[in-house]
Structure 1
Amino acid sequence: MNLMMMISILIFLISNIMMFLSIILSKKSMMDREKCSPFECGFDPKSSARMPFSLHFFLITVIFIIFDIEIALIFPIILTLKITNIFINMKISFFFICILLLGLYHEWNQNMLNWTN
């Protein structure tokens, strides 16, 4: 038990010495222009904060992500064809693909798939 206490004190001292040395030897300055300015993802903070953003492009990317995830959900259905009952698997697959097609039809009907408005 005494050895365990000595090792833990030694580890505590070494870690504190390393942290203290890193604070002393670091070359950072507290009054840096970049550190005092607000973080805006690389944009110049002196310009307008309201830059134009294409909402249509955002919706296209969301649609792509949704269909990408749905295709990833179809893969396990394909892999379990030999294990499960074929009729139950076909019903589930048909229902899933119908939901996909209804969503695609709705997006097409709302003109969300047209890049130019």
Structure 2
Amino acid sequence: MNELEFRLSDYAPIAVMFMVAGGFAASQILATQLVGPKKRTKTKLSPYECGKDPVGSARERFSVKFYSVAVDFLLFDLEVLFLIPFAVAFRELMTSGFREFGVPAYVAVMTFIAMVIIGFAYAWKKGTFDWSVQARAEARAEAKTLAVEEKQKRRLSTTTGKVVAPVSVATQATIPATSRV
């Protein structure tokens, strides 16, 4: 019998382990539901948030930068997930009688690593990891919006003759010098 021949019976202990683990989890959930107390209080039904009362809605908007960092993390995490088993398999491949498959496997993995490095460089160049660049861009956009609002207030005050709230020094700093009255 060939040493590398696939036998399904070799995987039976793994299947038994999964069945025992699943059965144990299901039995614990069932036992808790049957035996546990059923008092529902306001405190028990409220969400627990790091020892503090939750503030605001859980459905608020998050900045896209959080999602892009999460996706980048997943990509680099998957890279490690592929590289560690490859390192072990490559070592065995080179020490066994299959050395002719070593060079193509090495080239394939180096191509994979190069693609990951290019992706990392692209994300770096786009500013995914530099949050201060995005914060500055957001601050500029907000300053521009405030400047437009102040300009509209001034126009309104000159056309109606009514005095609108005075412009603060902080707001004046955000208004371009050409648009100041």
TM-score normalised to structure 2 length = 0.40
Residues 53-76 of structure 1 show CA distances to partners (whole Å, capped at 9, x for unaligned) of: 512321232122112112223221
Q: Larger RCO: Structure 1 or Structure 2 (Cα < 8 Å, ≥ 6 residues apart)? A: 1
- Alpha-carbon distance between aligned partners in 2 of 1:99 and 1:89, rounded to the nearest angstrom: 15
TM-score normalised to structure 1 length = 0.56
SS in 2 for 1:42: coil
- Root mean square deviation of aligned Cα: 3.1
SS in 2 for 1:58: helix
Q: Which amino acid aligns with 1:79?
A: E
Give the corresponding residue for 1:72: 84
Residues 55-112 of structure 1 show CA distances to partners (whole Å, capped at 9, x for unaligned) of: 2321232122112112223221123311132231121121122122123213312436
1:62 corresponds to which of 74, 78, 96: 74
Higher helix share: 2
- Alpha-carbon distance between aligned partners in 1 of 2:76 and 2:84, rounded to the nearest angstrom: 12
Change (3 A) 1:103 1:64: closer
2:49 corresponds to which of 17, 42, 46: 42
- Alpha-carbon distance between aligned partners in 2 of 1:33 and 1:90, rounded to the nearest angstrom: 65
Change (3 A) 1:64 1:106: closer
| Greater radius of gyration (CA) | 2
> Does structure 1 residue 101 correspond to structure 2 residue 114?
yes
Change (3 A) 1:28 1:102: same
Aligned residues: 92
Uncovered stretches (5+) of structure 2, i.e. residues with no partner: 1-30, 134-181
Give the corresponding residue for 2:102: 89
Change (3 A) 1:57 1:102: closer
Change (3 A) 1:67 1:74: same
Q: Which amino acid aligns with 2:39?
A: S
Give the corresponding residue for 1:15: none
Change (3 A) 1:70 1:113: farther
**Residue identity (%):** 9
Q: Which amino acid aligns with 1:115?
A: F
Change (3 A) 1:86 1:108: same
Change (3 A) 1:56 1:71: same
